[in-house]
Amino acid sequence: MVLAIVCPTPARAAASRWRQVAAGGGRGPDGVSVARTKRRRRRRRGLAVGLVLALVIVGLGGYAYLDITDQAPGVLTDDPPWPDADPFPDPASPTVASPAEAPGVDPDAPVPTADALAALTAPLFEDARVGPTPGVSVRDVATGEELYASSATNPYVPASTLKLLTGVAVLETYGDRHTFTTEVVGADDGTITLVAGGDITVAADAGDPEATIGHAGLGDLAEQVATELLAQGRTEVALTLDDTLFTGPALAPDWGEVDLAGGWAMPIMPLAVNIGIVDGVTRRSSDAALAAAGDFAAALAARGITVTGDVTRAARPETATVLGSVESAPLRDIVAYMMQHSDNVLAEVLGRMTAVQTGQEASFVGAGIAVLDVIARLGVDVTGAQFQDTSGLSRDSTLTPRMLTDTTVLIAAGGRPELLAAVQALPVAHLEGTLADRLGDTDAAGTLSAKTGTLPQVVSLAGLVTTSDGRLLAFSVLANSFPPGAAYQARVAIDAWAAGLAACGCS
């Protein structure tokens, strides 16, 4: 039996289907074994409700965002342009609600045949827009059987589909209810130290217990510390910052100035306010941890405690007293935000926190090793994979299409409820997140949920789809090395294939 699923949006047909499959494949409340036309009417009814809810959330200013790497500089084309978008997502938390009831998945629904899937995929291989030999893998969630594969064990640059594996790894390592702690300790010499614990979502002042970004607040932490210091009769302190949790270079070797200028990356640190986003500029903070320490000093001053001198960096004393602490949102919510908004910086921090907990070096290299090790321990074959980062922004990371579908089936089949957040948060086609503006007016709208990925010569898509016959499938498709400037057209071609898979009466 699967525990109640927390979803980041109120109309998640796919999440409801996963819940029912995991519980044993029971029929939906409207009966899923009736004629296909009745299923489609119910689907359209649910989609209409979802669209209304989505429009409401858009009106509130916190909903449909594009994959930040989908907007990466260097993706040029004379064909229809990329949609304009602010490179930074609204830091408001995704709406959390119980999933709306939706038609269940028929356990007796026809399984697509290999020949039918091959015929469906043939036009993709003949399409010059996707370059030579894209990799494809399609698996049946109920049985785990691989129904179709082409180049599925070859290594490909994954772009942001790598985040699916990072989300799974960190959830497996910590558990979905884990929180990251930011604390302040005091030493005998009167110095206090702000200790970074891996939370880059803190608010500069008061936190919001209903939010994911800004859940913990440095103002709340300052209130605790000021209360303790004032009780000791102290109104002045020296402040140091301990951000030694992470090691190694703060920037990946192949991240360039264009990634920093566009806000797709920043130096990776274990503490930041608002995931490093700086109001009024396009790039993120160049020293997010020190900037957060400055915000904390200002919060102390507002509460009657003066910080003397400049904030300096120093490891916490071996002997120290905890003066205050604040906790992040639960990890499942952080992973959901990372998946919905495809946030590279958050993905890199989650990768490094996986390294911290598993005993690897908390660097880019160590984080990549840690994520791969965790995925391998879950029983997924990681042959051919190497991770130079854990966000997919690096052009040097590789994985196989089969790795993505194997991992998706492992979670969606329902045997590991603590990992469900990694697929619950997958954006739903034409409804939310990085798929909000894709696959409209197709059978995939509202029935396909997937992680997107785009770099200048990489387009990828991996997730779940329910066919028109009612069969739940895991899929992945990765295209590399198409002509420069053709990423938009490659994405159009892959979306057409995904829409065909959703419409599949492929038995």
Domain boundary among 297, 329, 361: 329
Active-site position among 93, 150, 328, 342: 342
Q: Which domain holds residue 364?
A: 67-87+106-174+334-502
The answer to the question of residue 32 being in a domain is no
Active-site position among 160, 391, 394, 476: 160
What is the torsional sign of CA 284, 287, 289, 290? negative
Place of tokens 């160049």: 286
Q: Is 397 a catalytic residue?
A: no
Same domain, 191 and 167: no
The answer to the question of residue 23 being in a domain is no
Q: Which residues pair with 325 in a beta bridge?
A: 183
Cα separation values, 409 from 46, 236, 460, Å: 25, 56, 18
Kindly state the DSSP code that residue 479 receives in the 8-state scheme: E
| Beta-carbon count within 10 A of 95 CB | 16
Same domain, 271 and 129: no
Q: How does pLDDT run along the chain (507 residues), one tens digit per residue?
A: 333 333 333 334 444 344 333 333 333 333 333 333 333 433 433 433 333 333 333 332 332 333 433 444 334 333 444 333 333 334 333 333 333 333 446 778 899 999 999 999 999 999 999 988 999 999 999 999 999 999 999 999 999 999 999 999 999 999 999 999 999 999 988 899 999 999 999 999 999 999 999 999 999 999 999 999 999 999 999 999 999 999 999 999 888 888 888 889 999 999 999 999 987 777 899 999 999 999 999 999 999 999 999 999 999 998 899 999 999 999 999 999 999 999 999 999 999 999 999 999 999 999 999 999 999 999 999 999 999 999 999 999 999 999 999 999 999 988 888 899 899 889 999 999 899 999 999 999 999 999 999 998 899 999 999 999 999 999 999 999 898 888 999 999 999 999 999 998 887
Same domain, 122 and 194: no
Domain boundary among 277, 302, 329: 329
Same domain, 312 and 349: no
The answer to the question of residue 293 being in a domain is yes
Q: Residue type for 149, please?
A: A
* Residue 406: closest CA among 140, 176, 106: 140
Going by their DSSP bridges, the two strands 236-237 and 306-307 should be labelled as: parallel
Q: The CATH number of the domain where 225 resides is what?
A: 3.50.80.20
Rounded CA separation 207/196 (Å): 17
The answer to the question of residue 296 being in a domain is yes
Number of separate domains in the chain: 2
Whether 104 and 471 have beta carbons less than 8 Å apart is answered as no
Domain boundary among 329, 352, 375: 329
Same domain, 271 and 223: yes
The answer to the question of residue 93 being in a domain is no
Same domain, 475 and 416: yes
Same domain, 361 and 491: yes
Same domain, 152 and 195: no
pTM, two decimal places: 0.81
Angle, alpha carbons 486-487-489 (nearest 5°): 70
Angle, alpha carbons 357-178-225 (nearest 5°): 95
Same domain, 261 and 399: no
Q: Is 160 a catalytic residue?
A: yes
Rounded CA separation 137/161 (Å): 14
Same domain, 411 and 461: yes
| Buried/exposed code over 277-297 (b: 16+ C-beta within 10 A; e: otherwise) | bbeeeebbbebbbbbbbbbbb
Q: Is 150 a catalytic residue?
A: no
Cα separation values, 269 from 181, 205, 256, 294, 362, Å: 14, 19, 18, 15, 10
467 alpha-carbon distance from chain centroid: 25
The answer to the question of residue 256 being in a domain is yes
The answer to the question of residue 264 being in a domain is yes
Cα separation values, 306 from 164, 223, 309, 322, 433, Å: 44, 13, 9, 19, 43
**Using one digit for the tens of pLDDT, what is the confidence trace for 282-318?**
789 999 999 999 999 999 999 999 999 999 999 999 8
* Residue 179: closest CA among 288, 345, 325: 325
Same domain, 239 and 167: no
Same domain, 317 and 356: no
Q: The CATH number of the domain where 477 resides is what?
A: 3.40.710.10
Rounded CA separation 182/411 (Å): 30
Active-site position among 16, 137, 150, 163: 163
The answer to the question of residue 101 being in a domain is no
Residue 161, classed as helix, strand or coil, is helix
* Residue 474: closest CA among 138, 152, 153, 16: 138
What is the torsional sign of CA 108, 109, 110, 114? negative
Q: Residue type for 430, please?
A: H
